[in-house]
Amino acid sequence: MKLVVTLIANPSQANLTQQHVDHVQTVLSKLNCIPSSPSWLAEKIACDISFEGEDLAALRNMVQGEVSEFSIDSVIQPAAHRRKRLLLADMDSTIVIGETLDELAGVAGLKVQVAAITERAMRGELDFKEALRERVAMLKGLPATALDQTLAITELTSGARQLVQTMRANGAYTVLVSGGFKFFTSAIGKKVGFHEDRSNEMIIENDVLTGAVGDPILDRDAKLESLNSISAAKQIPLKETLTTGDGANDLPMILAAGLGIAFHAKPVVEEKAPAAIRYGDLTALLYIQGYRREEFSA
């Protein structure tokens, strides 16, 4: 099987060297996976090495183990169908920095309490739906203006717009799918350039949060269903889909996609995902698809 390993550094560090590339080529050669000449996608940031191999899981662990000490990511995948036609991305701690619900709780002076529940839910230690209801109930009585305050301080993850705009420019359909709330996904989705967003509804009456969440709640199963239904509606095979996220509720869609990527993810997600970005920003997801730096949009 023809495979390709992409070595990726964080653009802010740009610390990928020819020595790192040579080292990985040597490792592949010792495993009888004869590598081709490297193809640089961005100087000091990303490089492809094609080779023949079979045991994907073993190769992924071996190569990542060789480069992790240099704070470099590696992703190994089949060379065919690298450029994906459908992107589903989580929002909190993926497309944006941090958790919007935690920041909203901060306006009420409850960030520590709410963030502790969020962390456990994202690690898969709590039922997502119950954890969401519990956190929102704690915010009952908070003025709706707190949503605007939270949105104003929400920052995009580096590379978010480049990822979405570049994939859109190359014909991909892009969806922001979140266990968070429509107020945020609608604004963030438009800012980044997603075709659509799917999320939950926070019930507000008389400009005050009621502490309730609208049903049905978009959880891990709903994210997977979104992947399957959009893929079918757009007639895009699953092998041509890309999903990314950081929490346990993202894992089903990550495992079902043609390529699922754990992005600066919780341990349970990183352990099970077929690919993980630990050091790079969201442009890593473009390099993984074989895009060169000069092809980026936005």
Q: Are residues 256 and 162 in the same domain?
A: yes
Q: Return the percentage of the chain with pLDDT > 70, whole number.
A: 100
92 is catalytic: yes
With respect to residue 195, please indicate whether it lies within any of the assigned structural domains: yes
| pLDDT tens figures, 20-37 | 999 999 999 988 898 999
Q: Are residues 91 and 30 in the same domain?
A: no
221 is catalytic: no
Q: Are residues 209 and 72 in the same domain?
A: no
Q: Which of 48, 73, 92, 281 is catalytic?
A: 92
Rounded to two decimals, the pTM is 0.95
3-class SS string, 232-298: HHCCCCHHHEEEEECCHHHHHHHHHCCEEEEECCCHHHHHHCCEEECCCCCCHHHHHCCCCHHHCCC
Q: Per the omega criterion (within 30 degrees of 0), is the bond before 216 cis?
A: yes
Cα 165 to Cα 266: distance, rounded to the nearest angstrom = 27
Q: Which of 48, 90, 246, 250 is catalytic?
A: 90
Of 30, 52, 80, which residue is a domain's last? 80
Q: Are residues 35 and 161 in the same domain?
A: no
pLDDT at 267: 94
pLDDT at 56: 79
Of 80, 107, 142, which residue is a domain's last? 80
Q: Are residues 167 and 55 in the same domain?
A: no
Q: What is the CATH number of the domain that holds 172?
A: 3.40.50.1000
Q: Is the model's pLDDT at 298 over the cut of 80? A: no
pLDDT at 120: 94
pLDDT at 200: 97
With respect to residue 278, please indicate whether it lies within any of the assigned structural domains: yes
228 token code pair: 């399957």
Cα 277 to Cα 206: distance, rounded to the nearest angstrom = 43
Residue span of the structural domain in which 91 resides: 83-98+156-298
pLDDT at 60: 85
Q: Are residues 194 and 262 in the same domain?
A: yes
With respect to residue 109, please indicate whether it lies within any of the assigned structural domains: no
